């Protein structure tokens, strides 16, 4: 780009005009480097370049004083000066703005390692986190969610579940009684009966809920949470149960986790099984978590006892089903490594604040 000087040709302008043009030019040259703020530069620019009151605009007045034949040339000289000044101001302004921004940025420099402003953002209870995760897994398999009552009667909690009054299995669970008939449910299985009475197969239901047993020591809480699942349809077998549990275990405990069934006993299922998952901490080699066995007991399950189906008016010759139940706290404790069941019901801020969705 040509320098303004090279372009300026008003040295050839008539004497007085030339002097005035040079005077403006010199003033700009002399002062423009002294400005440090874009705001004061702008003020100076107005003095020189304001369209009405600027020094260059004023210069246009003298056009009238020069002879008519010189006027186009003088006009051209003035325009040249204007263009030159405009460019000078623009360049200077850019330079100043750049410096200003540098200063501003430098002034606003911060310690990025200072703590963030805290958003008070809490979390759901670990039991709820586990329940939500389970619901997510089972909802995808077509399970509805049914939450039964915490206060049940003897029939739904025991008798209908193939556990009549004198049955020794009642000793497996120490029951809180509210009256001869009413009690705090000892198992979410009570909900199975309500579901099967209200709904005919195909049934796929998941029932999370609080259950109660008169047991209060280091490893037992008088209230805890169970998650019960029930499937009733045609041709349901133990193989279906295990297939579903395999899927469940992989989704909850991680890929590659396997299940193992072993015989057990519950009054309302037959065959009944305890279900172990291969230890997700050591991969089945044996560690502290699995007590060296490579397996962790997570739930009980089985094929629904035909008497239970009959009690609900479902024909056991046509339909069969499986049920499974697990302790939500147990899963939560395994999953998060919580070592004390009581901590789940104390709401200590130092406990609660460790969880997140």
Partner 1 sequence: MLAPLSWLKDYVEIDVSPEELERKLFSAGFEVEELIETGRDIRGVVVGRVLSADPIPDTHISVCKVDCGEKGVLQICCGADNVRPGGKYPVALEGAQVYATARDHVTVEGLMTIKKGKLRGELSEGMLCSGVELGLSEELYPGAGYVGLLVLPEDAVPGEDVKPLLGLDEAIFDIAVTANRPDCQGMIGVAREVAAVLNKPFRLPALDYTENGEEIDFSVEVEAPDLCPRYLGHYVSDVKIAPSPAWMQRRLKLVGINAISNVVDITNYVLKEFGQPMHAFDLADLRERKIVVRRAKPGEEIVTLDEKTFALNPENLVICDGVRPVALAGIMGGLNSEIKESTCGVVFEAAKFARDNVRHTARALGQNSDSSARFEKGVDEWSTEMGMKRALHLIEELGCGRVSKTAARFAADPSRVEPRPLKVSLGRIDGILGVDVPREEILKSLSALSFAPEIDGDTLSLLVPAYREDIDDHAQDIAEEVVRSWGYEHLVPRFLDSAQVTPGGLNAGQKKLLKLKNTLAKAGFYESIFYSFFSPKDLDMMHFAPDAPERKAIRIKNPISEDLSLMRTTLLPSMLNAVVRNLRRGNTEGRFFESANIFLADKLPLESYPEEHAMLSAAAFGDGETFFTMKSAPEAVAKAFGVRFTYEKTEKPFLHPGMTAKILLDGEEVGFLGKLSYEVAGELAVEKPVFLLEMDAAKLLGKLTDELVYRPVPRYPTEKRDLALVTPEETTAEAVRSAIASSSKYLTRVELFDVYRSAAIGEGKKSMAFNLVFTPDDHEFTAEEIDKIVEKILRKLSHTLGIELR
Interface with partner 1 in residues 237-276 (CB under 8 A): 237-240, 242-247, 259-265, 267, 270-273
Which own/partner contact pairs does 354-357 have at CB distance under 8 Å and 24+ positions apart?
355/123, 355/124, 355/125, 355/126, 355/129, 356/123, 357/123, 357/124, 357/129
Tokens, residue 211: 């259950």
Interface with partner 1 in residues 24-43 (CB under 8 A): none
Binding mask 313-332 for partner 1 (x = CB under 8 A): -------x------------
Identify which of residues 54 and 209 has a Cβ nearer to partner 1 in the complex: 209
Residue 131: C-alpha distances to residues 184, 216, 258, 329, 356 (Å): 21, 23, 21, 10, 14
Identify which of residues 108 and 166 has a Cβ nearer to partner 1 in the complex: 166
Q: Closest by alpha carbon to 205, among 335, 323, 93?
A: 323
Identify which of residues 90 and 237 has a Cβ nearer to partner 1 in the complex: 237
Nearest approach, Cβ of residue 200 and partner 1 (Å): 12
Q: Please tell me whether residue 150 binds partner 1 under the rule CB under 8 A.
A: yes
Interface with partner 1 in residues 165-194 (CB under 8 A): 165-169, 171-172, 176-179, 181-182, 184
Q: Count Cβ atoms within 10 A of the Cβ of residue 233 and give its class: 0-12 exposed, 13-18 middle, 19 or more buried.
A: middle
Which one among 53, 120, 255, 288 touches partner 1, defined by CB under 8 A? Answer: 120
Q: Please tell me whether residue 219 binds partner 1 under the rule CB under 8 A.
A: no
Which one among 55, 95, 125, 251 touches partner 1, defined by CB under 8 A? Answer: 125
Nearest approach, Cβ of residue 214 and partner 1 (Å): 6
Tokens, residue 53: 């009151």
Phi-psi map region of 320: left, alpha, beta (phi>0 left; psi -120 to 50 alpha): beta
């Amino acid at each position: 780009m040509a320098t303004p000087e090279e372009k300026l040709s008003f040295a050839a302008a008539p004497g007085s005009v030339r002097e005035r043009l040079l005077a403006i030019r010199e003033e700009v040259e002399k002062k423009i480097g002294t400005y440090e703020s874009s705001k004061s530069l702008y003020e100076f620019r107005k003095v020189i370049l304001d369209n009405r009151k600027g020094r260059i605009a004023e210069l246009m007045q003298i056009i009238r004083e020069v002879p008519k034949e010189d006027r186009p040339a003088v006009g051209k000289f003035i325009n040249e000066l204007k263009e030159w000044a405009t460019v000078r101001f623009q360049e200077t302004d850019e330079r100043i703005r750049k410096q200003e921004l540098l200063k501003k940025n430098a002034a606003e420099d911060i310690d990025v390692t200072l703590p963030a402003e805290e958003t008070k953002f809490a979390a759901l209870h670990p039991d709820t986190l586990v329940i939500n995760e389970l619901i997510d897994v089972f909802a995808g398999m077509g399970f509805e969610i049914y939450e039964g009552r915490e206060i049940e009667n003897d029939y739904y909690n025991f008798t209908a579940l193939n556990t009549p009054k004198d049955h020794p299995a009642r000793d497996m669970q120490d029951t809180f009684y509210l009256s001869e008939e009413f009690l705090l449910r000892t198992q979410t299985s009570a909900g199975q009966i309500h579901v099967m009475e209200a709904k005919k197969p195909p049934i796929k239901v998941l029932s999370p809920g609080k259950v109660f047993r008169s047991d209060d020591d280091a490893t037992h809480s008088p209230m805890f949470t169970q998650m019960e699942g029930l499937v009733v349809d045609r041709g349901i077998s133990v193989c279906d149960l295990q297939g579903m549990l395999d899927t469940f275990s992989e989704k909850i405990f991680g890929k590659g986790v396997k299940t193992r069934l072993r015989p057990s006993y519950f009054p309302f299922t037959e065959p009944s099984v305890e279900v172990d998952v291969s230890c997700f901490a050591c991969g089945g080699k044996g560690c502290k978590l699995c007590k060296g066995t490579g397996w962790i007991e997570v739930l009980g399950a089985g094929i629904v006892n035909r008497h239970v189906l009959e009690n609900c008016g479902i024909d056991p010759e046509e339909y069969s089903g499986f049920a499974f139940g697990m302790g939500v706290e147990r899963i939560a404790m395994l999953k998060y490594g919580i070592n004390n069941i009581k901590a789940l019901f104390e709401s200590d801020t130092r406990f609660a604040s460790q969880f997140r969705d």
